[in-house]
Amino acid sequence: MNENLVWHNAGITRQNRERLNEHKAVVVWFTGLSGAGKSTLAHALEGELYKMKCRTYVFDGDNVRHGLCGDLGFSDADRTENIRRVGEIAKLTVDAGLITMAAFISPIKKDRDCVRGLLEPEDFIEVYCRCSLSVCEKRDVKGFYRRARSGEISNFTGISSPYDEPENPDLVINTDKISIELSVSRIISLMKERGVFSVSV
């Protein structure tokens, strides 16, 4: 940390923004293998929250790597830095009063734990999109598994790079067994339990 930097405390606080939005800020972190349905579910959830007039944003793993993390590869060190950057941005969006969906394979447990550690316990919901590797490979819309199996892509999670399965996620969604609609409903139910939609004026 540069000793010449001083944190500026804004006049408008997170609580002010939450009262204006009429909901609390939270990060819903989707983790799982490629093809498990993380982005699909994140955007479906955002669609329902939009209908509820919530202020939202989705950070999608592929989109982030087009800009903010465009300089990173897929080594363990680069994966860690990718998630670190997203975690810091997610911390800012919580302060901005937004409900943030983050859809990232995020295969390394300690990296997910680091993001959780940046936030207050009630501000982070880890959703494990659990899906069998065989189903993920069948979906393979982008052709990544086929290329990984043929050796064209190295360090591919689930094939040539490990995935640390979440030990105590806040919610497990078996995306190869239940519908998107039911999945979204379960997440919103958990958010209600957490008091996300209850803000005292």
Using CA atoms, how far apart are residues 135 and 69, in angstroms rounded to an integer?
28
Closest by CA to 36, choosing from 162, 111, 130, 120, is: 130
Using CA atoms, how far apart are residues 75 and 72, in angstroms rounded to an integer?
9
Kindly tell me the burial class for residue 45, based on how many C-beta atoms sit within 10 Å of its own C-beta (0-12, 13-18, 19 or more). Answer: buried
Please identify every residue annotated as catalytic: 106
